Amino acid sequence: MTTVKHFQFGTPIETGAVIRNVPAAGSRIPGWVQDEAQGTLCRDLSEDEIVYGLGESVRGMNKRGWIYESNNSDDPNHTEDKHSLYASQNFFLIFSRQHSYGMFVDTPGKVSFDIGYSKMDQMKISLDDFAANVYTIEGENPTEVIRSFHDLIGKSYIPPKWAFGYGQSRWSYMNEQEVLEVVRSYRDAGIPIDSVYLDIDYMDHYKDFTINNEAFPDFDRFTRQMKEQGIHLVPIIDAGVKIEKGYDVYEEGVEKQYFCQKENGENLVAAVWPGRVHFPDFLDEKTREWFGGKYQWLISQGVDGFWNDMNEPAIFYTEDHLKEVFRKIDLYRDQNLDIRSFFAFKELVDKIDNNPEDYRRFYHHYHGQLVRHDKVHNLYGYYMTMAAGEAFRRYSPDKRILMFSRASYIGMHRYGGVWTGDNKSWWSHLLLSFQQMPGLNMCGFLYSGSDIGGFGADCTEDLMLRWLEMAIMTPLYRNHSAEGTRRQELYRFEHIDWFRNLVNLRYALIPYIYSEFMKAVLSGGMYMMPLSFVYPEDERADRVEDQLIVGESIMLAPVYLQNAVGRSVYLPEDMKLIRFRSCEDYEEEILTAGDHYIPVALNETILFLRKGHVLPMAQPAQDVEQIDYSKLFYLTYEAEPEDYELYNDDGISPVS
């Protein structure tokens, strides 16, 4: 049993995140000190309370001890000192053995969550505009609270089943030949693969919904040729539309007033990859319908997956701000740049991109009103993805289309998944991306994952192995890297057989992964959980930050330190350790509850099977479609194969 309450204060801007109607129970939230003048909500935290949630954010699973700010930011340096990443997911859960208490602060502007930073035993939420719909959910255990929350916000997005296969991406596949080469190399190496991602270089001068015809002379043919080889091509779509005479998307947008305007009614001129762009006003229904319809052009050429990017929106500069900067820079020309003026000068240029002032320069048509962007900033990526999702339902009612986005807000989880953006090939980011998963799940984002191997910086072979092992059950399983970094396609490394075994294992696990993912979506639950969700009575389990439960049967405990040859693992109950070197070569060992040091070689993946549970597995396959469900085998620990209820479907038809 849970109790859901809705409070409303100020005049909140509607976000569309909550779809179940809960009548407002007033404007004062019991248990919190509300200070309207300061714009804050405060509550004491007892020592045993753990605060989970807030989706994709820095630091650990227990969010205590830092300030997190909901302010979608294009920042590729995901270091501990940051407060905001690309997403704003304002749901958290306060957990103790006595109770579980969830809160969703539904407001599209900036919100800061000081969780025991200013005062270790206090939580303080500050809102830029003190207006919000707040939902509180009280229950006996965290699982119930999460189910109630998911019931409020609606079912999570379901991708096609092939999107659980391995994906290869890199920013800099310049043409058809390069893509062909990647596919051929994977096939030659015998490493399974389902998708190749097309980054901005497939477009003609970074223009959305265009193809560089020299690089991809017959895209339609190419997409279908790839499909015949079991490969789905997944192009990127960026938020900014290039300003260029004769470019149809630009021309139509200007003519029909689909772009965000400044106060004076002119379209805002910002810049991203193609230089000057306009931003579609995704908050306006007619713009969404128009932009969403554009995806159809690529779908008609055989494309069945997309990733939406730069939709915080990322801004290199706005034309207005750039002019100001040039004017100001000139004032420094003949100066002796000293300690003060030098840094002031440097800051002028440093702060040119994603400048907060720029987010105050333009407006949206939202529910019949003109709303300044900063007031609804965190909705932009959500509504871009909604544009696509609504169009997919219109144009592809019988077929699921893959969609995930960089920026997000709760509500977007109904239209697409997320990836965690531009991480780095750092060991700390391997751990971070593991720890981000339960927070994302709580907020409804079940289809998610990080850039495996790291996006920025050079990846080492051991990091790639450990990352693939850590992410072995993460729904999105995509290797992606930035232009200019070391190439990290798996066949380029020394131990190709290790990589082959690992990705084969991933495919062997897909029946379980898909089954548990779907059950979680359909029941409004979570797919990846902290240990405390499953063992709420176990004090030690609550504090474990580097192990997760995946579905009903499995506990994960990845190795995340370089040169480590094993790790300590805490078992809340007796479990069966399964040590895979490949799908055929594995050992099983029963371990008793408590602490264990587990050696794990670089080419080994360890899974822990819970007592009384079953792990269904398939024979490896070169792509998801070829997984043979008639040949499943079952690893069990004090259970029978029949005890496992396998969910399966055709992987393509929409599921309601």
Provide, rounded to whole angstroms, the least separation between the CB of residue 180 and ligand GLC.
20
Nearer residue to ligand GLC within complex by CB, 169 or 515: 169
Provide, rounded to whole angstroms, the least separation between the CB of residue 480 and ligand GLC.
6
Provide, rounded to whole angstroms, the least separation between the CB of residue 421 and ligand GLC.
5
Provide, rounded to whole angstroms, the least separation between the CB of residue 467 and ligand GLC.
16
Provide, rounded to whole angstroms, the least separation between the CB of residue 296 and ligand GLC.
22
Contact set with ligand GLC (CB under 6 A): 171, 199-200, 236, 309, 406, 421-422, 480
Tell me the C-alpha distance between 193 and 186, whole Å.
Answer: 7
The DSSP secondary-structure symbol of 280 reads B
Nearer residue to ligand GLC within complex by CB, 211 or 236: 236
- CA 230: distance to chain centroid? 25
- The one-letter amino acid at 197: Y
Nearer residue to ligand GLC within complex by CB, 17 or 200: 200
- Asked whether 393 and 422 are in contact (CB, 8 A), the reply is no
Provide, rounded to whole angstroms, the least separation between the CB of residue 481 and ligand GLC.
8
CA-based end-to-end distance of the chain: 25
Nearer residue to ligand GLC within complex by CB, 199 or 623: 199
Tell me the C-alpha distance between 631 and 307, whole Å.
Answer: 33
Tell me the C-alpha distance between 392 and 296, whole Å.
Answer: 8
**CA separation (Å) from 329 to 323, 324, 341, 349, 523?**
10, 9, 11, 9, 58
Q: How many residues would you count in the chain?
A: 656
Tell me the C-alpha distance between 271 and 203, whole Å.
Answer: 17
Query: Cβ contacts of residue 128 below 8 Å, gap of 6+?
Result: 39, 109, 110, 111
Provide, rounded to whole angstroms, the least separation between the CB of residue 406 and ligand GLC.
5
Nearer residue to ligand GLC within complex by CB, 138 or 312: 312
- The one-letter amino acid at 212: N
Provide, rounded to whole angstroms, the least separation between the CB of residue 236 and ligand GLC.
6
Give the tokens for residue 41.
Answer: 């909500």
Tell me the C-alpha distance between 407 and 265, whole Å.
Answer: 27
Provide, rounded to whole angstroms, the least separation between the CB of residue 563 and ligand GLC.
29
Tell me the C-alpha distance between 347 and 317, whole Å.
Answer: 14
Tell me the C-alpha distance between 267 and 460, whole Å.
Answer: 45
Provide, rounded to whole angstroms, the least separation between the CB of residue 323 and ligand GLC.
26
Nearer residue to ligand GLC within complex by CB, 464 or 549: 464
Provide, rounded to whole angstroms, the least separation between the CB of residue 171 and ligand GLC.
4
589 by Cβ neighbours in 10 Å (0-12 / 13-18 / 19+) ranks as exposed
Nearer residue to ligand GLC within complex by CB, 106 or 199: 199
Tell me the C-alpha distance between 35 and 39, whole Å.
Answer: 6
Tell me the C-alpha distance between 419 and 414, whole Å.
Answer: 15
- Asked whether 384 and 311 are in contact (CB, 8 A), the reply is yes
Nearer residue to ligand GLC within complex by CB, 199 or 552: 199
- The one-letter amino acid at 636: T
Provide, rounded to whole angstroms, the least separation between the CB of residue 69 and ligand GLC.
20
Which uninterrupted H or E stretch holds 501? helix 496-523
Tell me the C-alpha distance between 501 and 513, whole Å.
Answer: 17
Tell me the C-alpha distance between 288 and 276, whole Å.
Answer: 21
Nearer residue to ligand GLC within complex by CB, 16 or 55: 55
Nearer residue to ligand GLC within complex by CB, 480 or 613: 480
Q: Give the helix, strand, coil percentages of the chain, each rounded to 5.
A: 30, 25, 45
Nearest residue by C-beta to ligand GLC?
171
Nearer residue to ligand GLC within complex by CB, 52 or 273: 273
Nearer residue to ligand GLC within complex by CB, 100 or 405: 405
